[in-house]
Structure 1
Amino acid sequence: MLEVKDIVKTYNTGEISFTALKKVSLKIEKGEFTAIMGPSGSGKSTFMNILGCLDKMDEGSYILNNKNITNLKEEELAAIRNKEIGFVFQAFNLLPRMTILENVELPMVYAGISEKLRKEKSMTALEKVGLKDRIKHRPNEISGGQKQRVAIARAIVNNPAVIMADEPTGNLDTRSTLEILRIFQDLNREGSTIIMVTHEPEVAKHTKRIVKFTDGEIVSDEQVKDRVIIE
């Protein structure tokens, strides 16, 4: 599903050089639910940005869904982002002037999908996250937990190869956090591959595998032994 080998990423600001990733290698199989953890500055966000084709590595290789995307141009990476990757961010990133339905349709607009099919697929995605009755609302008319559910619907609407979630519960209360984790677990049971950055051990316990970063390197990679499953 996804494999990176010997990834190196260095940032240069003036005379200062900082290596965020030091020959990182990782393989994630189809259907895994993986948490990426580590303190601030550990490299986990840089790693996720590279996995999500939002940033380029300086060295190393990247295979995603049987495609070598190591040396693709920006426009090719944009197509990969839209087709193969579903993003869920801490800040939701919904467009305030659009309805819930229009926000979910957005990736398909960029993909050139017909209006009729866009609506059908968006309704199906919103039904999966329990928001089919909110399609005409705008983001400022729903709660934070509901906003994140809309963001998940938008992430899955193109049937991506992998869902990448960056601190998806960071702005949510306990009840909403559990709702979001239940949705992720349901999607994973249906076959979705999910990679989630989190700094909260209690959230990571809901995944199947935890990969920890420190100082730009992977320091542990373990299956979750006492996994919390939400029915």
Structure 2
Amino acid sequence: MLEVRNIVKTYVTGELDFTALKGINLTIEKGEFTSIMGPSGSGKSTFMNILGCLDNQYKGEYILNGNDISNLKDDDLAHIRNKDIGFVFQAFNLLPRMTLLENVELPMIYAGVPLKERRKKAVEALEKVGLGDRIKHKSNEISGGQKQRVAIARAIVNNPKVIMADEPTGNLDTKSSVEIMKIFQNLNEEGATVVMVTHEEDIARYTKRIVKFKDGEIVLDKMVGNRIIL
């Protein structure tokens, strides 16, 4: 599903160059549930930006679903982000003046999906995350855990090839975090490929594989033997 070959990312700041990624090689197969971990400055966020097609200024190759997207231009990458990748962020990124249904519809509006079809798919996505009875609520009327459920519904509504989550439980209490990880596990069991950045070891244990970064390099890549299954 995802393969990177010898990815090097260097930031140029004035007279100094900083290499954030030092020749990263990694393959994530279809249907995997992978955690990306590492301390601040390790390169994990830079790596996720590249995987999410948010950054195309790097050296090396990036193969997504069998297609080399390393040299695509911004417009092409924007199309891939909308069609092939579902994003879930720590801050939820919901629009407060819109209903939950309207928030989930947004990716389909950008994709040109007709109104009737996108309404149907948005409702189905919200029902999948347990919010089918709240579609007319606005984001300031629900809890943080529910906001993240809406964000997941928005991420899956276009049936993306991969779901990318950046610290999805970072703003949540323990109970809500467990509920969110259960949703990700269910999506993964249904066949979704999930890549998640987290700094929390206990959250990473809900996934099937842990990849750890340090100083721009992968220092650990292992399957989770004592994985928590909800």
Bucket of the pairwise TM-score, normalised by the shorter protein: over 0.9
Q: Matched residue of 1:164: which SS?
A: strand
Q: Is the contact made by 1:7 and 1:57 (CA closer than 8 Å) also made in structure 2?
A: no
Q: CA deviation at 1:86?
A: 0.1
- Separation in 2, partners of 1:213, 1:53: 19
Q: Which residue of 2 aligns with 1:218?
A: 218
Q: Matched residue of 1:134: which SS?
A: coil
Q: Which residue of 2 aligns with 1:19?
A: 19
- Separation in 1, partners of 2:37, 2:68: 26
Provide the aligned C-alpha RMSD in A. Answer: 0.5
Amino acid at match of 1:211: V
- Separation in 1, partners of 2:166, 2:57: 19
Q: Does 1:113 pair with 2:106?
A: no
Correspondence 1:38-187 to 2 at 5 A: 38-187=38-187
Q: Matched residue of 1:63: which SS?
A: strand
Q: CA deviation at 1:214?
A: 0.2
Q: Count residues in correspondence.
A: 230
Q: Matched residue of 1:82: which SS?
A: helix
Amino acid at match of 2:186: D
> Taking structure 2 as the reference length, what is the TM-score of the superposition?
0.99
Q: CA deviation at 1:15?
A: 1.2
Q: Deviations over 1:79-133 (max 9, x none)?
A: 0000000000000000111100000000000000000000111111101100001
49-58 vs 208-217, which moves further = 49-58
Q: Which residue of 2 aligns with 1:29?
A: 29
Q: Deviations over 1:1-60 (max 9, x none)?
A: 110000000111111211100000100000000000000000000000000000124210
Percent identical pairs in the alignment equals 73
Q: Matched residue of 2:103: which SS?
A: helix
- Separation in 2, partners of 1:219, 1:108: 38
Q: Matched residue of 1:72: which SS?
A: coil
4+ residue runs over 3 A deviation: none
Q: Matched residue of 2:133: which SS?
A: helix
Q: Deviations over 1:162-214 (max 9, x none)?
A: 00000000000000000000000000000000000000000000000000000
> Taking structure 1 as the reference length, what is the TM-score of the superposition?
0.99
Q: CA deviation at 1:66?
A: 1.3
Q: Does 1:192 pair with 2:192?
A: yes
Amino acid at match of 2:46: T
Q: Which residue of 2 aligns with 1:229?
A: 229
Q: Is the contact made by 1:37 and 1:211 (CA closer than 8 Å) also made in structure 2?
A: yes
Amino acid at match of 2:112: G
- Separation in 2, partners of 1:49, 1:17: 19
Structure 1: unaligned runs, 5 residues or longer? none
Q: Which residue of 1 aligns with 2:2?
A: 2
Amino acid at match of 1:171: N
Structure 2: unaligned runs, 5 residues or longer? none
Amino acid at match of 1:52: G
Q: Matched residue of 1:178: which SS?
A: helix
